[in-house]
Amino acid sequence: MATRTWQGGTGVWDLAANWSPATVPVATDDVYIVSGSVDITGLDQSSITLNSLTVGTQYSGTIGSSGTKLQINATNFVFSGTGATNYIEGQFTTVTVQNTSTNTAALNLSGSSDTITTLRILGGRGGVNIASSCNLVTTIEQIGAEGVTTTIADGTTIGGSCELRIDSGRMELNQAIPTITVFGGELEAGLDSGTVTTLDIYGGRVRWNPSAACVITTLNLYNGLFDSRDSLAPIFTVTNTTVHEGGIIDERSGLENALWQNALNLEGGEVRYDSGRQVTIT
């Protein structure tokens, strides 16, 4: 294990002169890209698993491109770079995003074998995009990231016990996640299938906008808004629902395409639905 720091006279990753000490990173190294503005050209380094890869806030260049990504693996990947766009493939135990540029494609994670066990988005100002080829295993967090829009693509592989927690910013979710907890921010769920086993809302807004049939097994609304007015799905099903003081369900879509399978348990809050519709409340 050794420490390698990017010097970046040119954008070539596998040129020893671009590193200090002057050796191209190998497996188990700790790699730091923490200064400079030289763009790093994409390259296939997928045979290498670093101990850590850190991209610091003082690095303002870009890494890879949409056509040629940097392919590399690391146990820990910390990203704070401010370059306009970055395209990285790899397998990571933990990805932590602390800062980004304002670009909608600020950080793009993709690849045929991408596996991210824990994804933590703690800051940034632009877009974090998770491609459909990725595998998100256990934890997704967007905490204190007011300026970020995260997009999880349709077709992304989601672990059977995966949990999502969000308290800020915006997340566009196009693949069902078993357990979702919303403390704030905006979560837009544009699912085309799948089941969310538990959706707990303590604040913020959930825009439930599926394009095809999907299921919420248990919806607990403590505060905030569950908004399905934009839904175009033929039908979506909510099996068990409890609304507490401060919570609002608004599904005045005019389509009446929500099936509330059991009586809504109303312990406070509001339920807004289309005029003339019959809804059972306990």
Read off the pTM: 0.95
240: in domain: yes
Beta bridge partners of 76: 52, 94
208: in domain: yes
216: in domain: yes
Structural domains in the chain (count): 1
257: in domain: yes
10-residue mean pLDDT series, the chain (282 residues)? 95 98 98 97 97 98 97 97 97 97 97 85 98 96 98 95 98 98 97 95 96 94 95 87 96 81 93 77 64
How high is the pLDDT of residue 233? 79
How high is the pLDDT of residue 194? 94
9: in domain: no
Is 245 buried (19+), middle (13-18) or exposed (0-12) by CB count in 10 A? Answer: exposed
Domain around 222? 192-282
Torsions phi, psi of 18, nearest 5? -85, 5
How high is the pLDDT of residue 278? 67
How high is the pLDDT of residue 255? 74
36: in domain: no
270: in domain: yes
251: in domain: yes
